[in-house]
Structure 1
Amino acid sequence: MLKLISTLSCCIALLGSPELIADDELKLGMSVGLSGPAKEIGQQLRQGAQLYFDYANALPGRSHQAVSLMVLDDGYEPSRTVINTRYLIEQHKVLALFGNMGTPTAHAIQAILTHHQLPFLMPFTGADFLRHDTPYPVFNWRASYMDEATEQVRYLVDEQGHKAIALLIQADEFGLTLEKSFRQALNARGLSPKVTARFRRNSADINKALKAIMRNEVTAVAMIGTYQPLSVFIDKAMHRGFKGTFTGVSFTSSSALFAKLTSHPTLMISEVVPNPNKCKAQLCDLFRTLAAKHTLAVSPQIFEGFLNAAIFISALNYCPQPVQRACLSGAMQQVLKKDPAIRAIFGLTGTENKPRVYRSYFQ
């Protein structure tokens, strides 16, 4: 049975954690924003993971232990993620962190992950520092932020013909990571941002950034942030007469952003999963069936959480019993290489193991 616990308000000492898990269940921990202005992202990731784990736990004759997922609320604030991680290790004795949300939150717990060699599985971020020579086990399947930035620049420059492009950036590790990626992608086409404006995380105070962008006569804005401030920015820019194009990355949460807009912009969001309403693979059908049964929305973020859980369960087939932490990340790589149901989701063929970038458009 999946468990949801409210945010912890006190620090817990960071002590050792066991390598082996108990025989009766596999304990995973998840720290996401369930409250605050980015809460819909964390809520959807949790819902999707819970949907598949409940399904897998109820299968008759299953060969794996039941999965127990403890989900803690960090409000998309790094300091709270640190507290949650310490609790999950010491008190819940988790096998791994699963589906955590955010780049600044992931950055804040690197020392803890390194100390405990705790696997960091399928975080909801495309940050570069999680993809190269990490001192702790990491498994990523989603496209990187460099991949998403490249796709957006392809859309804005190659397809739409924009050259006067602004960057609207959340002022933290998330923004810095994507700013670097966008600059590289633009530089490859002989361009650079015409203006770069920033705003504070978990804040919708975008007025200063809006003024800086509007006075530079840009024709497109590549946005790096969550749905709440970006919806405010788009609506205010449209109200002031902006006629150009907007883009955002998958972390934005396209479903939440589209629902909040009161204007009708030209807007593309890069995604790391195919359209869950239209994809044809067996897991897509299962997702839609289970979502309808539990009256859940069909969104990219819920679908991503669902796929995270499906990949984890499939990976158990590649680990000897009892499951050990050291096996997990390698086993998940085997899933991408060999599991036909997972590979079909991303259209992987031959030796291809890297999922592509998709698009959502505001209608």
Structure 2
Amino acid sequence: MLKLISILSCCIALLGSPKLIADEVLKLGMSVALSGPAKDIGQQLRQGAQLYFEYANNLPDRSHPKVSLMVLDDGYEPARTVVNTRYLIDQHKVMALFGNMGTPTAHAIQAILTHHQLPLLVPFTGADFLRSNTPYPVFNWRASYLDEANEQVRYLVDEQGHKAIALLIQADEFGLTLEKSFRQALTARGLKPKVTARFRRNSADINKALKLIMRNEVTAVAMIGTYQPLSLFIDKAMHRGFKGTFTGVSFTSSTALFAKLTSKSALMISEVVPDPSKCQAQLCELFRSLIHKQNLATSPQIFEGFLNAAIFISALDYCPRPVTRACLPGAMQQVLKKDPTIRTIFGLSDTENKPRVYRSYFQ
């Protein structure tokens, strides 16, 4: 009897030991564009997340579980996101989706997430429908698209004095969400868009939209889309003599857009992270060090993916073992509220919990 008690005590101790906790593997799934005209965005988000997860998994004194991130390509097409999500749930048995990319793609999988009560963590979108009263668990820290629209309208109207502003919009849920946000921001200043032009997602056919906008003699264009069609639009508009100002949201990928432009234009992109080459925090220094070792280019999207992973790993300290999917969103929220490094990076003070919007300018 004493021998049995001794064996049981030994087993209980082992179950709570750091080694066994560290040997646990948490499976996460990610569906992003790794191919197609928006591939640079998805590839950068993947690189950033993997950069931190690999660092955290290989820490010599690691006490948290390892993280396995399976990344699937959806080409920024909602139908493929649905297929990927079902595979990640049924075959890979993921405990959460992590860092998924896009508004229309997130919209397409809502029924699946609701049915499985699968957490959607740090999605790369500022869409309103993911920000409150969702029927499935969600955690996001990035500024909303309304926040970004307000920042762009502040720049265009309050600082630059523009009143004749066009909206160039991707024709899907992404575009509709931001069109609503821009109209709200403009209405607050007694304005409305002079013209609204649309183009298809994953399409470079912006000629009709360009003609419509140029006919209306606007002085600024607020653009909602990805880097490939927007770079074509800007270059063609400049070639036709447009002298005004362009803006775009963080989803566009400023790094990819700036790299594709062949014309010198007045362009501002709203961002949800500070400049990773300049931010002052220990996590920023770690990011720069790891980026240098891996010989990767720095971008806001890689930095965002990196921060997403860092928040996830820190959140594990707030979850009992074994870690359950139900714990993750609340634990990540605790990191956002309490972690001084994260709060410093996001510009949060003791009284301020609203993420800031930053800016990148095309030089």
The aligned amino acid for 2:95 is L
2:342 maps to what in 1? 342
- State how far apart, in whole Å, the 2-side matches of 1:161 and 1:291 are: 39
Are positions 1:331 and 2:322 aligned together? no
- Matched residue, 1:53: 53
Match of 1:234 in 2: 234
TM-score by length of 1: 0.93
Which letter does structure 1 place at the counterpart of 2:318? Y
> Radius of gyration: which is bigger?
2
CA distances 1:171-215 after superposition (whole Å, capped 9, x unpaired): 000000000000000000000000000000000100000000000
Q: Deviations over 1:118-137 (max 9, x none)?
A: 00000000000001200000
Paired with 1:141 and 1:132, the residues of 2 have a C-alpha distance of 12
Partner of 2:114: 114
Q: Is the 8 A contact 2:226 2:251 kept in 1?
A: yes
What displacement does 1:341 show?
1.5
Q: Tell me the equivalent position of 2:64.
A: 64
Aligned counterpart, 1:208: 208
Amino acid at match of 1:50: Q
* AA matched with 2:221: V
Which residue is equivalent to 1:128?
Answer: 128
Q: 1:227 to 1:154 in 2, by over 3 A?
A: same
User: What SS class does the counterpart of residue 148 from structure 1 fall into?
Assistant: helix
Q: How big is the shift at 1:62?
A: 1.1
**In structure 1, distance between residues paired with 2:353 and 2:123:** 18
Separation (CA, whole Å) in 2 of partners of 1:354 and 1:28: 27
- Letter of the aligned partner of 1:327 in structure 2? C
The question of whether the paired residues in 2 share the 8 Å contact of 1:162 and 1:220 is answered with yes
Aligned length: 343
Q: 2:300 is matched by which residue type in structure 1? A: P
- Contact 1:117–1:136, Cα closer than 8 Å, also in 2: yes
Aligned to 2:4: none
Question: Offset of 1:23 from its aligned partner?
Answer: 6.2
Residue 189 of structure 1 corresponds to: 189
CA distance in 2, matches of 1:25, 1:295: 28
Aligned-partner Cα distance in 1 for 2:66–2:330: 21
- Aligned position for 1:309: 309
Pairwise CA distance, 1:63: 1.3
Deviation at 1:83, TM superposition (A): 0.2
Give distance in 2, aligned partners of 1:141 and 1:178: 18
After superposition, the C-alpha distances for 1:80-119 in whole angstroms (9 at most, x for unaligned) are 0000000000100001000000000000000000000000
1:160 corresponds to 2:152: no
Separation in structure 1 between the aligned mates of residue 242 and residue 289 of structure 2, nearest angstrom = 41
1:156-305 to 2 correspondences below 5 Å: 156-305=156-305
Distance of 1:209 and 1:147 partners within structure 2: 25
Where does structure 1 lack aligned partners over 5 or more consecutive residues?
1-20
Shift of residue 22, structure 1, vs aligned partner: 11
Q: Do the aligned partners of residues 359 and 296 (structure 1) sit closer, same or farther apart at CA in structure 2, a change above 3 Å counting?
A: same
In 1: Cα distance, 2:124 partner to 2:321 partner: 28
Deviation (angstroms), 1:353: 2.2
Mapped to 2, the partners of 1:178 and 1:349 lie a distance apart of 28
Give distance in 2, aligned partners of 1:83 and 1:113: 13
1:75 is aligned with what amino acid? G
Unaligned runs of 5+ in 2: 1-20
Percent identity of equivalent pairs: 87
Match of 1:38 in 2: 38
Q: Is the 8 A contact 1:23 1:322 kept in 2?
A: no
Letter paired with 2:163: K
User: Which amino acid counterpart does residue 289 of structure 1 have in structure 2?
Assistant: S
Does structure 1 residue 91 correspond to structure 2 residue 91?
yes
Superposition CA RMSD, Å: 1.1
> Runs of 4 or more off by more than 3 Å in structure 1?
none
State the shift of 1:281 in Å: 1.0
1:154 & 1:230 partners in 2: Cα distance? 21
What amino acid maps onto 1:66 in structure 2? Answer: K
